[in-house]
Amino acid sequence: MSQKKISIFDTTLRDGEQSPGCSMYLEEKISMARQLELLGVDVIEAGFPFASEGDFQSVAAVARECRSTTIAALCRTVPSDIYRAAEALKDAKKARIHTFVATSDIHLQYKLKKTRDEVLEMTANAVRIARGCVDDVEFSAEDATRSDVDFLCQVFEVAVNEGATVLNVPDTVGYTLPGEFAALVTTVKERVVRDRNVTISVHCHNDLGLAVANSLAAVEAGATQVECTVNGVGERAGNASLEELVMAIAVRGDKMPYSNNIDTTQLYPASQLLSSIVGFGVQPNKAIVGRNAFAHEAGIHQHGVLSNPLCYEIMTPESVGVPKNNIVLGKHSGRHALIARYQELGLIFEDNEIAEIYTRFIALADRKKNVYDQDLLALAPARIPVAIAA
Ligand code: KIV
Ligand code: ZN
């Protein structure tokens, strides 16, 4: 059976960066973008150029750096925003302008203070201007899941008629449920897309912990692009986690026969790199990339896994790039283990720096039972992590 291709749109550098404590410097964004290219994402949303000079420069730099991936820049449906996005993308090999406007009555009334007709006009103008700048234009209806469905379809229709190539259905506030979201995607497909060559995309937030489930339900209903972030970072409770989406599809190919371009062995390195850049890691029990994701504590489980890992593991640690020798760092660990761990985190230090870090490490290990990546990041001098090749 031929497999439906799902495009992975990564917004770690845009929506992810909007989450508290996740802001990144330009060099860090370039480093992360290189890792995302190694991972094989189809689109990197590199920032919101109109928002700040820093964001503009980051999008421009990522656009120059990444030649195999489409680079997207976000903008409101405001002409000055769109031209700024186009300017930031001018050196990109493959550029996408991503323009958005809210469509729910609550956003129209309290945030935008616009009528529905005005929103329709803003959409038409924005997509037309964006198509005058680039061939690939994504249109997002912010708060789509709380919008009146007839109005939502009207806005999407206008966007397609003006040349939008991708229609994105965001669950901006993480409110929807899988069945309901699938039905919405089906409606957009039947009423707006029909037989036209337009991609349906989804963008789910995790306020109810349903971002991945909602995204997968949407894919089953016909969406062929999912927007997500490494480690699930993003506004509030975050976005759909890239590693969870990709591995759900990889592990359950029997029920979800979809393909994508992701090299799953780069998932763990990507997660580690992001953690070192933002200075905090994922929770220990985080699926796929958490410290305990492949750890077995109970004797009965340990025995099963030793006899055959399939007893308790539905995927291997190696398949997501978790190194085989996950050495536990403690007060008996030597410098080599410490250097190796920092290298896995993308951090390389001079000998004299390692000597100082090691002294601090031993002092900490004397007080704490286990020393985790977060501790190591806090012990080390600030440094831009580098992308870790396979
Ligand atoms: O959550 C959201 O609605 C967004 C849009 C800009 C796509 O991030
Ligand atoms: Zn978002």
DSSP result, 244-275: HHHHHHHHTTTT--EE----GGGHHHHHHHHH
DSSP-derived secondary structure letter, 17: G
- The model carries a pTM of 0.90
pLDDT averaged over the chain? 94
Cα 134 to middle of ligand 2, angstroms? 23
Q: How do residues 349-360 score in pLDDT, each as one tens digit?
A: 999 999 999 999
pLDDT value of position 237: 96
CA-to-CA dists, residue 17 to 54, 60, 284, 286, angstroms: 12, 16, 22, 19
5-32 pLDDT, tens digit each: 999 999 999 999 998 889 999 999 999 9
Q: Which atom of ligand 1 is nearest to the CA of 15?
A: 8
Q: Under 8 Å CB-to-CB from 37, ≥6 apart: which residues?
A: 44, 66, 68, 69
Which pLDDT value is given to residue 326?
A: 59
Closest C-alpha to 226, from 45, 55, 63: 45
Q: Whose CA is nearest to atom 8 of ligand 1?
A: 15
Ligand nearest to the CA of 171: 1
- Residue-level pLDDT at 35: 97
Give CATH 3.20.20.70 domain extents, the chain.
Answer: 4-278
Please write the tens of the pLDDT for every residue from 97-153: 999 999 999 999 999 999 999 999 999 999 999 999 999 999 999 999 999 999 999
Q: Which ligand is nearest to the CA of 233?
A: 2
Please, what is the end-to-end C-alpha distance for the chain in angstroms? 30
Compute, in angstroms, the gap from residue 120 CA to the centroid of ligand 1.
18
The two three-digit tokens of residue 203, written as one number = 């963008």
Higher pLDDT, 363 or 327: 363
Ligand 1 binding pocket, CB closer than 6 Å: 15, 100, 140, 142, 168, 170, 172, 203, 205
Report the distance separating Cα 309 and Cα 256, nearest Å.
Answer: 23
pLDDT at residue 389 is higher than 70? no
Q: Give the confidence band of 368 by pLDDT, cuts at 50, 70, 90.
A: confident
For the cut 60, the answer to whether the pLDDT of residue 1 exceeds it is no
Element (H, E) at 277: helix 267-278
Nearest atom in ligand 1 to 235's CA: 1
Neighbour tally for 199: CB within 10 Å: 17
For the chain, the residue count is 390
Share of residues in the chain with pLDDT > 70 (%): 96
Atom of ligand 1 lying closest to residue 239 CA? 1
State residue 346's pLDDT score: 85
Atom 2 of ligand 1, residue of closest alpha carbon:
172
pLDDT, residue 388, reads 63
- Find the ligand nearest to 228 CA: 2
Q: What spacing in Å lies between the alpha carbon of 203 and ligand 1's midpoint?
A: 7
What is the Rg, in whole angstroms, of the alpha carbon atoms belonging to the chain? 22
The single-letter DSSP state of residue 239 is B
Which residues, other chains included, contact 225 with Cβ-Cβ below 8 Å and sequence gap of 6+?
6, 7, 8, 9, 42, 43, 166, 168, 199, 200, 201, 202
Ligand 2 centroid to Cα of residue 227, in Å, is: 9
Topology classification of domain 4-278: TIM Barrel (3.20.20)
In angstroms, what is the span from residue 341 Cα to ligand 2's centroid?
A: 33
Model confidence band, residue 79 (pLDDT cutoffs 50, 70, 90):
very high
Which two tokens mark 50? 């109109």
